[in-house]
Structure 1
Amino acid sequence: MMGNIVFLRPLNVFHHPSEFVTFKTSPHLPGVELYSARLVDHAFAPHVHDGYSIGAIEAGAERFRYQGQDHIAATGSVVMLNPDEMHTGQAEADGGWTYQMLYIEPDTLLEMTGSEAFFPNAAVHDPTLALAYQRAFKAMWQAGDDLAFISSFTQLIDNVVSRYGKNAQLVQPVSARRQQRTLAMQRVLECMEDNLDQSLGIEQLAAEAGLSMFHFVRSFAAIYHVTPHQYLQARRTARAKTLLAQRNTPSDAAAAVGLTDQSHLNRWFKRAYGVTPAQYQQQIGTRPALAIR
């Protein structure tokens, strides 16, 4: 399933100017495909997917036939279709519908949940979960590494499965083993702190904790209340703040903490502290002097 983004906009299929369909395979987690679309006039013929189809309606409303019944998924709905189930899809509102989907191979969800989960409800109106889905989907679409992708993916799918899935056995940290898990996570924190300038992968950090990657994300979040990726980026931003206070340039600070470039640092720094690195240095008087040419 790995590959580049594929844009599907054939003239003989899409007639409305705002319609689009965009697929993106995940280079960070085989067995997962991302899909974003806005459709107005187009109607899907009966079709199936080999894996699970889990998505959220961002705007408008969709009507689809599934398991012999008609369903309507309006804005704020979460859609959950089981593998190999025939279904259709068309607009229920004049303006069409905008939505995002994750297509997940059964083996991937089996590894994650510990059993063959299924979803008895094809669509539920859950605006809070739908909004969380959209935020996580955007983060996954933009994820630059497997740690970012799998952190967002695990939390999102755990939320969906725990609320609406059946026969799933999510592996959660046992309270009696919390101290042991905390000690294992200390090794993870030390690994992060010692390698802020390096690209840290999910498998490396999970191995430090002695856990599978999905169990690692759950255990880490249970102890520290953030995902491993959120924690790592926070530590990188904090280290960059120290370097900026020591008169390092924003570009040097970004490189020193493993961020790809200054614009990457700008985004994380402003998100954490409300100002850009340059504004921070200007305010505390540590902005490096311009080089004289």
Structure 2
Amino acid sequence: MDAGAGTVEDTSTNAACGWINLASGMDGCERIEAFFSGQAYEPHRHDTYAIGRTISGIQRFHYRGQVSDGVPGTAIILHPDELHDGQAGTEDGFHYRMIYLDPALVQQAIGGRRSLPFIPGGVSDDPRLLKAIDGMVAHMSEPMERLQYDDAVYDLAHALQAADPRAGAPYIATPDYRAADRARAYIRHSEGEPISLEQLEQITGQDRWKLSRDFRTVFGTSPYRYLTLRRLDRAKAEIVKGMPLVQAALDAGFADQAHLTRHFRNAFGITPARWRRLLTD
């Protein structure tokens, strides 16, 4: 892929200049390649893993009370629902490839019996992780076959589990994975309609508060956050198709464009208008 092709310059005040290419994605995984100089993303959090490699430059971010640098030769692994930002560590900017992976796929691959793997500091040079990540980001312009993708998810999930310093620690409590996954599936197919915890209790047969705790343990975020992010997924898809922002907001279940913008910035660190400008053909 030509990293410079289709560069879009953002001229808004104090914004980074750069571009974003949306690579071929798969169910449960979004892949992007991007370049930014200066401040790229405001503090935000999303309900997926953000996993990738810095191709050139320094990708600097604040994460869990510290400043971390992603540089060539290392991997970036940001846990779901953890606050972080993003900016260039030098004047040269940074070029990177990233996947946003649904935690449900990781849980399915590792058996759904414990909390999600966590990598302290958000940066790792673990060779197992580097190899597994490269299996998904090395050739971003090429679509992945279904079996190839499933194998890559399996390899990445187990590399994450092996690199987690808590690996091998005894369970404190076993979450009800089946109930949590049933609730996740119900929310995912709700088309953004309002849902109550009482409804999820009825659907799963699990006490609502245990279900809420187990959902967080298994998928790294709350049921309502998960619902909000699915609405944002729908809005992003509409924006890519050229839908006006106000219509994309309403179709996805938001009250208005301002409601969409607030949640979009909180989830992705940029406004939907700026995200649309950064996209490349």
What is the TM-score normalised by the length of structure 1?
0.46
Higher alpha-carbon Rg: 1
Name which structure has the greater RCO, CA cutoff 8 Å, separation 6+: 2
What is the TM-score normalised by the length of structure 2?
0.48
